Chains A and B, each alone.
Chain A
Amino acid sequence: DIQMTQSPSYLSASVGDRVTITCQASQDISNYLHWYQQKPGKAPKFLIYDASNLESGVPSRFSGSGSGTDFTFTISSLQPEDFATYYCQHYDNSLLTFGGGTKVEIK
Chain B
Amino acid sequence: QLVQSGAEVKKPGASVKVSCKASGYTFTVFYMHWVRQAPGQGLEWMGIINPSGGSTSYAQKFQGRVTMTRDTSTSTVYMELNSLRSEDTAVYYCARGGVGANRPLSLWGQGTLVTVSS
Q: Determine which of B59, B101, B111 lies in contact with A43 in the assembled complex, contact meaning CB atoms within 8 Å.
A: B111
Per DSSP, are chain B's interface residues mostly helix, strand or loop, or mixed?
A: loop
Bound-state CA distance A96–B57 (Å) is: 10
Interface residues of A in 19-71 (CB under 8 A from B): 32, 34, 36, 38, 43-46, 49, 55
Produce 1/0 per residue, A82-99, CB < 8 A to B: 000001010110111111
Contact (Cβ within 8 A) A55 B57: no
CB distance from B44 to the nearest CB of A (A): 7
Q: How far does the alpha carbon of A80 sit from the alpha carbon of B35 in the complex, in Å?
A: 27
CA distance A92 to B100 in the complex (A): 11
Whether A44 pairs with B105 at a CB distance below 8 angstroms is yes
Interface range on chain A (Cβ under 8 Å from partner)? 20 to 34
Asked if A94 and B57 make an inter-chain contact with CB atoms under 8 angstroms apart, the answer reads: yes
Contact yes or no, A96 B33, CB < 8 A = yes
Minimum CB–CB distance from A77 to chain B (whole Å) comes to 24
Set of chain A residues within 8 Å of B102, measured between Cβ atoms: 32, 91-92
Is A101 touching B104 in the complex (CB atoms < 8 A)? no
Chain A residue at minimal CB-CB distance from B100:
A91
Q: Can you spell out 5 A-B residue pairs with CB atoms less than 8 angstroms apart?
A: A44-B43, A44-B93, A46-B104, A46-B106, A98-B35
The chain B residues found within 8 Å of chain A, CB to CB, are: 33, 35, 42-45, 48, 57, 59, 93, 95, 97, 101-106, 108-111
Given A32-B102, A95-B59, A101-B43; 18 other pairs, CB 8 A cutoff? A34-B105, A43-B108, A44-B93, A44-B105, A45-B108, A46-B104, A55-B104, A87-B42, A89-B104, A91-B103, A92-B102, A94-B48, A94-B101, A95-B45, A96-B33, A97-B45, A98-B43, A98-B45
